[in-house]
Amino acid sequence: MEKTFYIETFGCQMNAHDSEKVIGTLIDQGYAQRETPEEANYIFYNTCSIRDKAEQKVFNRLMHLKKSAGRGKVLGLLGCVAQQEGEKIFERAPYISLVAGSASYTKLPEMLRQLEAGDRRVTGLSLDTEETFDTPLTRRDNPYKAFLTIIEGCDKACAYCVVPFTRGPERSRTAASVVDEAKRLVDQGYTEVQLLGQNVNSYRDPSPTGWDFATLLNEVGNIPGMKRVRFTTSHPRDFVKPIIDAIESNPNLCNHVHLPVQSGSDYVLGAMDRLYTREQYMQRIEWMKNSKRPIAITTDIILGFPGETEEDFQQTLDLLDEVEYDALFAFKYSPRPNTAALQFEDHIPEEEKTRRIQMLLERQRAIQIRKNSELVGAVEEVHVEGRHEMLNQWTGKTTSHHTLNFTGRDSEDLLGRYVNVRVLRAGPNSLTGEAVQ
Ligand code: SAH
Ligand code: SF4
Ligand code: F3S
């Protein structure tokens, strides 16, 4: 059988980056990547289980595939649904041959050899592993900005969240291997990296060097040729002042922090087991607001967690006004397998969750319109990532992660370059401007 594969990725940036590593590993084993499932003999889905909708998407895709392109092909399920459902997948979808979670990807080549030797089903589901999946073979998708994993797994136990079950306990990479990879990326022409982990703040170098996250951040920012360093995600409990000091003193560290709050109510935060109060969260926001650099702040919010009253919800709305986030992601609470909140009573009806999320997004939209309009007239440095030929516009991101579309310098190739742009107009979700001569 021809060694060709197709892979589709769902979920977060960690999954997207895992797929880049899997692709590199498969290519190294002599497999060729194809753009459609029809053209490939191996089909992989790298799956997400964070909300029920994400999981359903995967099973819908599988059903569809089984009816059409799936015949005679080898199907593999990777990622968080694979880890969560394990061997049960084979009952639900008997046409699947391989089930592997992210802690087992180092074993993929061996698993594929087993399939080729005639095994009908293989699994990689062990989570009690010390291993991290660092591979020099990674095939990165984006030519301008590179993902770089620094820590895998999560040791928190937020009552709603599957991640500790689907990705296992925390494992930090050695600082030496992170810095090495970042240097290699600069050699390959990258000037922007995004450090990844479910909770980057609890990073701790396992080697005797013992660097904490702020130290690592600073060191990566100091690599000659590195222009921009971003990081996601921060857990507020482990977000310490030295991280802000690092951002303040090192202009290569982007002035943007994604600090998921989930709720503005202490009751709900307690029920979620988030390990901080609203006051402690606001303390971190104050550090950023008092910083010499204007640090953009974004967040995640869950609406309709079991027991969330109208009063709790109002406290979340009130928090939006207090913090004035630059952007946010809002989600309706979705009950997930294995999680503590599954046992909670007082589930909020779907229509009520919808009402709350709509109200919240409306409130936030007004904040973004107001905040973004304050940027009109400013000159911002844009890392150019794309070009809309039809609109005659370049597009890219500012250090604070605003999307800034701009005109000018049409005859040049600006892709991957840093350009100063004057902001002329502001919408709720993006800015428009003109390159400064
Ligand atoms: N490790 C990160 C994010 C993990 S998942 C952190 O701790 O912030 C990304 C976001 O999905 C979370 O911040 C949360 O807002 C949302 N989320 C996670 N589980 C959810 C669930 N069961 N229902 C709805 N949203 C959820
Ligand atoms: Fe999930 Fe909480 Fe861990 Fe984030 S910190 S991955 S929300 S358990
Ligand atoms: Fe989804 Fe797994 Fe990421 S559940 S959000 S792909 S860690």
CATH for 415? 2.40.50
Same domain for 333 and 301, yes or no, is: yes
Closest Cα to atom 4 of ligand 2:
198
Pocket of ligand 1 contains residue 334 by CB under 6 Å: yes
Ligand 2 pocket test: which of 198, 200, 281 has the largest number of ligand atoms within 8 Å of its C-beta? 198
Q: 239 C-alpha to center of ligand 2: Å?
A: 14
What residue numbers bound the domain in which 269 lies? 131-373
Same domain for 240 and 140, yes or no, is: yes
pLDDT value of position 241: 97
Q: If you search the block for the tokens 């130290």, which residue do you land on? A: 215
Atom of ligand 1 nearest to the CA of 329: 15
One-letter identity of residue 347: H
pLDDT value of position 134: 87
Classify 395 as helix, strand or coil.
strand
Q: 50 C-alpha to center of ligand 1: Å?
A: 7
Query: In the beta sheet, which residues pair with residue 98?
Result: 76, 122
Same domain for 307 and 330, yes or no, is: yes
CATH of the domain at 325: 3.80.30.20
- Geometric angle at alpha carbon 291, from 290 and 297, rounded to 5°: 90
User: Of 373, 389, 415, which one is at a domain's C-terminal end?
Assistant: 373
Tell me the C-alpha distance between 348 and 333, whole Å.
9
Pocket of ligand 2 contains residue 199 by CB under 6 Å: yes
Q: 274 C-alpha to center of ligand 2: Å?
A: 9
Q: 374 C-alpha to center of ligand 3: Å?
A: 35
pTM of the model: 0.96
Number of domains in the chain: 3
* pLDDT digits (tens), the chain, 437 positions: 789 999 999 999 999 999 999 999 999 999 999 999 999 999 999 999 999 999 999 989 888 887 776 678 999 999 999 999 999 999 988 899 999 999 999 999 999 999 999 999 999 999 877 778 888 899 999 999 999 999 999 999 999 999 999 999 999 999 999 999 999 999 999 999 999 999 999 999 999 999 999 999 999 999 999 999 999 999 999 999 999 999 999 999 999 999 999 999 999 999 999 999 999 999 999 999 999 999 999 999 999 999 999 999 999 999 999 999 999 999 999 999 999 999 999 899 999 999 999 999 999 999 999 999 999 999 999 999 999 999 999 999 999 999 999 999 999 999 999 999 999 999 999 999 999 98
Instruction: Write the Ramachandran bin of 79: left for phi over 0, alpha for psi from -120 to 50, otherwise beta.
Output: left
